[in-house]
A and B are shown apart, each in its own frame.
Chain A
Amino acid sequence: MTTHTPGSVRGLALAEQARYLRDLAEIRALLSRYASLVDARDPRAIASGAFTADGSDDHGLYGSVFRGRDAIEAMFRRSNETTEASAHFVADPVIEIDGDVAYGRTYVTGWTWTRDSAVAGNVRPADWVFIGIYVDRFERTADGWLISQRTVEPLGPGATAAGRRPEVYAGSAGIIDEKGAAARDGH
């Protein structure tokens, strides 16, 4: 199989082109569904609704890779301890499909309201806007397309679009600390 983009699929049979369009629509919907699930702050629903059974997630926030639905659920449960609410906006998906596997790079801003600032009331601005790129591997499963591997790359100098990175992420070996940013720059 070869990896296909909208421009390269034209040489295939018509039914294959139609299948390509349907796959693309489903993968785009998966990216949106992930945002809805995460922002509903239901760890079990995120793990089972967006990831394959052995899917992995390396958000770069906690310094380790979370593999399998139980581990991913635990990661989001841990996130709920410090994050009261979030809003994820995805944009600019670049998706390549290779049969039952696909690859995507998608921009995201994650607006985060921490529990620490709850004293300011519900109508308060976000504490932190994370900005980065989801680098995904997708698989076609009996339950439709799901994420089998997700890593996150920073946008901007250090993945902060606005506000301040919550202290809970300080010192992680992830993508959003000074050390990680310097390593990327080859210092």
Chain B
Amino acid sequence: MSGSGKDLILRHSNASRIAHWAVAIVFIDLFLSGLALFSPFFFWLSNVLGGGSLMRFLHPIAGVALVVLFYPYAAMLMGDNRWLPNDSKWVKHMAAYMRKEHPDIGETHKYNAGQKMMFWSMVPIIAVLAVTGVLLWQPWFAPHFSAGARRAAGLIHAICAFVMFVGIGIHVYAALWTKGSIDAMIRGTVTRAWARFHHPAWERDAGGKGGR
């Protein structure tokens, strides 16, 4: 452990932060327009998303944007999200972690097991949303599929969207809860003390030069 706790070290590169916020903006449009299409209770959201027709037109295009932005970003982060033996230990102590009881959960690398679960749940869910979304995409793709296939796609799409919302909800809350992480995603840096506390193995191995 070298350097003062106040040193700033790079946690998220420029590319990583830009990709993250681009994905976030696209997700917000997709989520709100999806909600408007899912329930009449939220149809008023169409008024702030360009009106019903335009909102509906943009939703699948935003979906393509999500796929195009998310998967290269995910490929960039994949190495740091490999599941390690230590991660299972983290999961076992997750409840205590959430109570801030600082259980002994070993050395955390760049991402803790919670972050890794978030990562690995989004990878297949966005794929399923994309595939079912193509089946529903009017007027270009949907006409090639039967009504029954499109009904099934609609239901699966809705279920996955809610799983995604829950995942992203937890992600946003975890970021709000863990002080310093939102700053890190905006400016890219964390203090050495933050790195040592939350991700000691990353701080030690990367020495603060492993921002990806």
Are A and B co-members of a single complex? no
Q: Which residues of A contact B (CB under 8 A)?
A: none
Q: Which residues of B contact A (CB under 8 A)?
A: none
